[in-house]
């Protein structure tokens, strides 16, 4: 599958550093809270079940999960209202950025994202300026397995997946975002273990960044965005050189 360029590696990494782990925990709590608005029972709310599964894969404590669910369902009356917003813009070299955020203060978030982009030689764009460059997809990351490669790939094909990519001992499986849960369940039933599943955005075409100086600037911009507590995901239409 060409065109997938997400700032986070497709090989899911645990937050080994306390500060990084705290950021990951905050993101998961927000995603659970948003999902819980449609119902606090994960057995009846697939989006909530997915958010909880992903959070547990990153070792989010159960008490944090329970607190986030109560905020989402309204049981916690004092919780601030979270808003999901997507910002579109450009990194150095004209690279398109699609930035997902969840925040209790939209004015703070848009100001912060714009400031980061400007500081790192990027720019904020208008709604829709780069969204058409990406395709919404489902993505499933499988846990490493000792099964023969041919067997694994046949199970992936039989699951209803649209495509897959292998990196070292990890498989990244792609599907339509509407089929994400059903394909993940088919993979599990076949004996494969799912480490993480989520909706993602795949760039339709990739920009070639060959200038090391531009690549370094893009990397610093992405790091700065990733450190912002309101930013939950960053997608771009280029692959940075190693």
List, for residues 138-149, the tens digit of each pLDDT value: 999 999 999 999
**The pLDDT of residue 210:** 87
Q: What is the mean pLDDT of residues 229-238?
A: 92
Q: What is the mean pLDDT of residues 222-238?
A: 92
More confident residue, 14 or 167: 167
**The pLDDT of residue 235:** 94
**The pLDDT of residue 242:** 66
The candidate with the shortest Cα–Cα distance to 221, out of 113, 116, 78, is 116
The overall average pLDDT reported for the chain is 89
Question: Contact at 8 Å (CB) between 174 and 161?
Answer: yes
Does pLDDT of 192 surpass 50? yes
18-73: which CATH architecture? Answer: Orthogonal Bundle (1.10)
The residue ranges of every structural domain in the chain are 18-73, 83-132+206-239, 134-203
Q: State how beta strands 238-239 and 207-208 pair.
A: parallel
8 — pLDDT class (breaks 50, 70, 90):
very low
The CA–CA distances, whole Å, from 7 to 14, 20, 26 equal 15, 15, 18
Q: What is the pLDDT of residues 62-115, one digit of tens each?
A: 999 999 999 999 988 877 889 999 999 999 999 999 999 999 999 999 999 999
Question: Contact at 8 Å (CB) between 71 and 139?
Answer: no
The CA-based diameter of the chain, rounded to the nearest angstrom, is 53
Q: What is the pLDDT of residues 34-45, one digit of tens each?
A: 999 999 999 999
Distance of CA 46 to the CA centre of its chain: 17
**The pLDDT of residue 19:** 57
* Alpha helices by DSSP H, 79-211: 106-119, 149-158, 180-189
High-pLDDT (> 70) share of the chain, %: 92
**The pLDDT of residue 146:** 92
Structure pTM? 0.82
**The pLDDT of residue 80:** 82
High-pLDDT (> 90) share of the chain, %: 74
Does pLDDT of 1 surpass 70? no
11 — pLDDT class (breaks 50, 70, 90):
very low
Q: What is the mean pLDDT of residues 52-57?
A: 91
Q: What is the pLDDT of residues 148-163, one digit of tens each?
A: 999 999 999 999 999 9
83-132+206-239: which CATH architecture? Answer: 2-Layer Sandwich (3.30)
Question: Contact at 8 Å (CB) between 171 and 10?
Answer: no
**The pLDDT of residue 15:** 36
Query: Which CATH superfamily does the domain covering 134-203 fall into?
Result: YebC, transcriptional regulation domain (3.30.70.980)
Intrachain domains 83-132+206-239 and 134-203 with the same fold:
yes
**The pLDDT of residue 129:** 96
Alpha-carbon distance 242 to 221, whole Å? Answer: 16
- Cβ-based neighbours of 29, under 8 Å, separated by 6 or more: 55, 60, 64, 65, 67, 68
């Amino acid at each position: 599958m060409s065109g997938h360029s997400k700032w986070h590696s497709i090989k899911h990494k645990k937050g080994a550093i306390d500060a990084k782990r705290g950021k990951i925990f905050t993101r998961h709590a927000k995603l659970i809270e948003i999902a819980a608005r449609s119902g606090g029972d994960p057995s009846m709310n697939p989006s909530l079940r997915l958010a909880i599964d992903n959070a547990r894969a990153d070792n989010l404590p159960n008490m944090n999960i329970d607190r986030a669910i109560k905020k989402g369902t309204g049981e916690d009356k004092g919780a601030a209202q979270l808003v999901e917003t997507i910002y579109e813009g450009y990194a150095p070299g004209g690279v398109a950025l699609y930035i997902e955020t969840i925040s209790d203060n939209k004015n703070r978030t848009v100001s912060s994202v714009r400031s980061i982009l400007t500081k790192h030689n990027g720019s904020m764009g208008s709604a829709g300026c780069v969204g058409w460059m990406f395709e919404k997809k489902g993505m499933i990351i499988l846990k490493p397995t000792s099964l023969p490669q041919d067997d694994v790939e046949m199970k992936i094909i039989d699951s209803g997946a649209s495509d897959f990519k292998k990196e070292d001992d990890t498989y990244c499986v792609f599907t339509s975002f509407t089929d994400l849960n059903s394909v993940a369940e088919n993979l599990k039933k076949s004996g494969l273990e799912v480490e993480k599943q989520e909706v993602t955005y795949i760039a339709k075409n990739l920009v070639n960044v060959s200038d090391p100086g531009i690549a370094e600037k893009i990397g610093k911009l992405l790091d700065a965005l990733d450190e912002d507590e309101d930013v939950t995901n960053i997608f771009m239409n280029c692959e940075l050189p190693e």
